[in-house]
């Protein structure tokens, strides 16, 4: 249910203006210009990359179920129905905060290993098999542990952070059990998704994404409490590599045409890069191409029409180019992140 509600919420935010595969690309964290712009346009940044391990087969299966249940209209033109909207009326997740999400899969591995290290340290046990076998994760945890005052002190800090988090009154018993039972410790192995699904009477997929939602909440808790554990959180600046190159030229104050000439690319390609950059950083670098007043004018019309469809917006705003409209939408998305 949770994962299906999550999908319907994404379709609702996309407002029927994107294909049935758009939520899949968002969840997978696809680093294409279109997806990176969409997460800002439609205010779904927090969902980006939370399903890097989601298979196309699983997604298609869940999508078919939404259509059969009447929650979305069809795969060809996916809009949320009244029945579907009623299913997300009370849907709440920390992915909706608007913050660009961390790599949940990677952070879970770090947390799993840290809790195991801490639990065994508190029991003065040095003989155990690491729950996470990936060497890059092990190396990072070794560096992190070495940077702290001592293993015992870190172990106490980890224990305190976890206990303080699960004791929050905002969490349900199911959420507490899901979070704690998934973690491994001294002579205790974290439960599998199958075991957790049976315990909580939920689907495995729902347990997985509910846990990731809890991870994002836990990360927010670490940040607000100034916990040293927050150092393990990665929040990379999400941008395509080619847009990153254009960004470096932009920082050298080269114009759009000059960058296109230097990079030997079409101006339309550089325009795509500018839109991508604006969706992340806002419009301070593009005032010569679009003034604040012009940007506000475009965004006002967008709010009135409740659409991101460029053709409809251009019909109402013939004095602006498609590029200027796209740039304004990108700036508007970034300013509301």
Q: Is the pLDDT of residue 82 over 80?
A: yes
Same domain, residue pair 39 and 140:
no
| pLDDT band per the 50, 70, 90 thresholds, residue 101 | low
- Quick one: average pLDDT of 147-160? 93
Which of 209, 232, 255 marks a domain boundary?
232
Average pLDDT, the chain: 91
Cα separation, 170 vs 207, whole angstroms: 18
Which of 232, 257, 290 marks a domain boundary?
232
Please check whether residue 286 is in contact with residue 253, taking contact to mean a CB–CB distance below 8 angstroms. no
Same domain, residue pair 124 and 210:
yes
Please check whether residue 33 is in contact with residue 276, taking contact to mean a CB–CB distance below 8 angstroms. yes
Percent of the chain topping pLDDT 90? 73
Q: Which residues fall within 8 angstroms of residue 156, CB to CB, at 6 or more apart?
A: 118, 122
- Quick one: average pLDDT of 164-181? 95
Same domain, residue pair 82 and 128:
no
Task: Give the per-residue pLDDT at 142.
Answer: 94
Task: Give the per-residue pLDDT at 300.
Answer: 94
Same domain, residue pair 182 and 300:
no
Angle between helix 204-224 and 2-14 (nearest 10): 70
Cα separation, 286 vs 250, whole angstroms: 10
Q: Is the pLDDT of residue 332 over 90?
A: no
Which of 97, 120, 145 marks a domain boundary?
97
Q: Which residues fall within 8 angstroms of residue 266, CB to CB, at 6 or more apart?
A: 260
Please check whether residue 47 is in contact with residue 95, taking contact to mean a CB–CB distance below 8 angstroms. yes
Q: Which residues fall within 8 angstroms of residue 321, CB to CB, at 6 or more apart?
A: none
| pLDDT band per the 50, 70, 90 thresholds, residue 239 | confident
Residue 99 DSSP class: S
Same domain, residue pair 130 and 91:
no
Same domain, residue pair 120 and 195:
yes
Cα separation, 70 vs 85, whole angstroms: 10
Domain that holds residue 8: 1-97
Q: Is the pLDDT of residue 284 over 90?
A: no
- Quick one: average pLDDT of 297-313? 91
Task: Give the per-residue pLDDT at 335.
Answer: 52
Same domain, residue pair 228 and 257:
no
Task: Give the per-residue pLDDT at 104.
Answer: 81
Cα separation, 326 vs 286, whole angstroms: 12
Number of folded domains that form the chain:
3
The runs of H, that is alpha helices, within 29-150 are 33-41, 56-69, 82-88, 104-122, 135-147
Task: Give the per-residue pLDDT at 337.
Answer: 44
User: Could you write out the DSSP letters of every residue in 252-264?
Assistant: TT--HHHHHHHHT
- Quick one: average pLDDT of 121-140? 93
Same domain, residue pair 7 and 113:
no
Task: Give the per-residue pLDDT at 102.
Answer: 61
- Quick one: average pLDDT of 307-334? 90
Same domain, residue pair 52 and 18:
yes
Cα separation, 5 vs 89, whole angstroms: 10
* Of 63 and 332, the one with more pLDDT: 63
Same domain, residue pair 251 and 227:
no
Q: Is the pLDDT of residue 150 over 50?
A: yes
The CATH number of whichever domain residue 269 belongs to comes to 1.10.10
Cα separation, 110 vs 189, whole angstroms: 15
- Quick one: average pLDDT of 69-79? 93
Residue-wise pLDDT for 173-215, tens only, equals 999 999 999 999 998 999 999 999 999 999 999 999 999 999 9
Residue-wise pLDDT for 214-225, tens only, equals 999 999 899 899
Same domain, residue pair 131 and 208:
yes
φ, ψ of residue 238 to 5 degrees: the values are -85, 110
Most confident of 97-101, 109-113, 146-150: 109-113
Same domain, residue pair 106 and 208:
yes
Residue-wise pLDDT for 243-265, tens only, equals 989 999 998 999 999 999 999 99
């Amino acid at each position: 249910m949770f994962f299906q509600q999550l999908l319907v919420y994404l379709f609702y935010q996309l407002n029927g203006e994107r294909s049935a595969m758009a939520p899949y690309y968002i969840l997978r964290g696809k680093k294409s210009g279109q997806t990176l712009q969409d997460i800002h346009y439609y205010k779904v940044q927090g969902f980006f990359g939370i399903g890097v391990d989601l298979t196309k087969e699983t997604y298609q299966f869940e999508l078919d179920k939404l259509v059969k249940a009447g929650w979305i209209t069809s795969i060809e033109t996916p809009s949320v129905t009244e029945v579907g909207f009623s299913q997300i009326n009370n849907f709440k997740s920390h992915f909706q905060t608007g913050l660009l999400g961390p790599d949940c899969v990677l952070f879970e591995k770090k947390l799993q290993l840290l809790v195991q290290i801490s639990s065994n340290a508190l029991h003065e046990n040095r003989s155990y098999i690491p729950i996470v076998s990936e060497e890059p994760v092990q190396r990072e945890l070794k560096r992190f542990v070495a940077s702290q005052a001592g293993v015992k002190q870190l172990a106490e800090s980890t224990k305190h952070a976890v206990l303080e988090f699960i004791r929050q009154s905002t969490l349900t018993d199911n959420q507490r059990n899901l979070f704690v039972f998934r973690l491994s410790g001294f002579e205790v192995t974290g439960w599998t998704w199958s075991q957790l699904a049976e315990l909580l009477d939920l689907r495995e997929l729902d347990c997985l994404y509910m846990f990731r939602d809890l991870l994002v909440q836990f990360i927010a808790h670490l940040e607000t409490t100034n916990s040293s554990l927050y150092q393990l959180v990665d929040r990379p600046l999400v941008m395509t590599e080619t847009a990153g190159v254009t960004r470096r030229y932009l920082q050298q104050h080269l114009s759009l045409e000059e960058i296109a000439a230097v990079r030997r690319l079409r101006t339309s390609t550089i325009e795509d890069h500018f839109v991508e950059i604006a969706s992340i950083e806002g419009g301070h670098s593009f005032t010569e191409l679009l003034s604040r007043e012009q940007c506000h004018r475009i965004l006002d019309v967008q709010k009135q029409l409740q659409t991101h469809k460029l053709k409809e917006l251009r019909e109402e705003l013939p004095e602006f180019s498609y590029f200027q409209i796209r740039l304004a939408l990108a700036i508007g998305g970034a300013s509301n992140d």
